[in-house]
């Protein structure tokens, strides 16, 4: 993998560990714990426009980008109804779909996750609700937390017109409701070719839960998923 990127993540995570005790004390004393996306732990509103939850027995696909794909994949792997989640690249060409090149931020690719799900168990709108509420901060432009660059941008790659309509309607709904302290910058783009990432990126959260980056930035998202959406969480 890109050694410089990994070292940066590790250094930032180590810095968090130093201030972890102070942060923990603050959170214990604070009456409301903020979530990673800037809201409270109360869930954002459910989408008013969604696909039907019955009558569609075939698996469907969603492609979402919201920062480092390790955490995005890891969260959706713990959502009921998700049959598989694969890290990869979307938005650019095949010739540049490798980690070293994508990490330059010049390829048009975003670190993305392809989600295969059973629409009779979880709807596309429910996946988007988790995406906006748990996975990422949709108000951050071309970055997520410590990771900066267009490859970390927030994108919904709509696979068809139904998905595009649901995503557009939900973003408008959340902006009207003032669900976030700033306007949502998540882009809704047409479906594009998805390129699986290298093998060492797959299942990274589950394989390395104690790594400094995962422990600091991504494991708390699993705790939030479990507490905020218990009916959709699976161990």
For the segment 33-42, the average pLDDT, to the nearest whole number, is 48
Q: Are strands 143-144 and 110-117 parallel, antiparallel or unpaired?
A: unpaired
Element of type H or E holding 32: none
Q: What is the CATH number of the domain that holds 199?
A: 3.30.1060.10
Our answer to whether residue 222 is catalytic in this structure is no
Is 179 inside a domain boundary?
yes
- pLDDT exceeds cutoff 60 at 40: no
Tokens representing 76 are 């959706």
Number of domains in the chain: 1
Report pLDDT digits (tens) over 134-183: 999 999 999 999 999 999 999 999 999 999 999 999 999 999 999 999 99
Least confident of 10-14, 28-32, 154-158: 28-32
Tokens representing 46 are 């459910």
Single pTM value for the model: 0.85
Report pLDDT digits (tens) over 102-132: 999 999 999 999 999 999 999 999 999 999 9
| Alpha helix stretches (DSSP H) within the chain | 3-29, 69-76, 99-102, 124-130, 161-177, 204-207, 212-213, 219-228
Is 153 inside a domain boundary?
yes
| Boundaries of domain holding 179 | 3-228
Is 40 inside a domain boundary?
yes
Q: Which of 44, 62, 64, 68 is catalytic?
A: 68
């Amino acid at each position: 993998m890109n050694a410089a990127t990994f070292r940066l993540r590790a250094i930032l995570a180590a810095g968090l560990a130093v201030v972890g005790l102070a942060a923990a004390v603050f959170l214990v004393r604070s009456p409301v714990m903020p979530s990673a996306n800037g809201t409270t732990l109360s869930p954002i509103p459910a989408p008013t426009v969604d696909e039907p939850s019955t009558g569609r027995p075939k698996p469907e696909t969603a492609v979402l980008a919201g920062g480092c794909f390790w955490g995005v994949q890891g969260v959706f792997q713990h959502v009921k109804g998700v049959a598989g989640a694969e890290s990869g690249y979307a938005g650019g060409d095949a010739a540049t779909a490798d980690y070293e090149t994508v990490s330059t931020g010049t390829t048009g690719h975003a670190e993305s996750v392809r989600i295969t799900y059973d629409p009779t168990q979880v709807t596309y709108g429910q996946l988007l609700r988790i995406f906006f509420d748990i996975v990422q901060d949709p108000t951050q432009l071309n970055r997520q937390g410590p990771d900066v660059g267009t490859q970390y941008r927030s994108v919904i790659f709509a696979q068809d017109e139904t998905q595009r309509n649901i995503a557009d309607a939900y973003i408008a709904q959340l902006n009207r409701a003032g669900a976030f302290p700033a306007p949502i910058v998540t882009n809704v783009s047409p479906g594009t070719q998805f390129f699986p990432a290298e093998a060492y990126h797959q299942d990274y959260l589950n394989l390395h839960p104690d790594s400094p980056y995962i422990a600091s930035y991504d494991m708390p998202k699993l705790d939030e998923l479990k507490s905020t959406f218990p009916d959709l969480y699976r161990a």
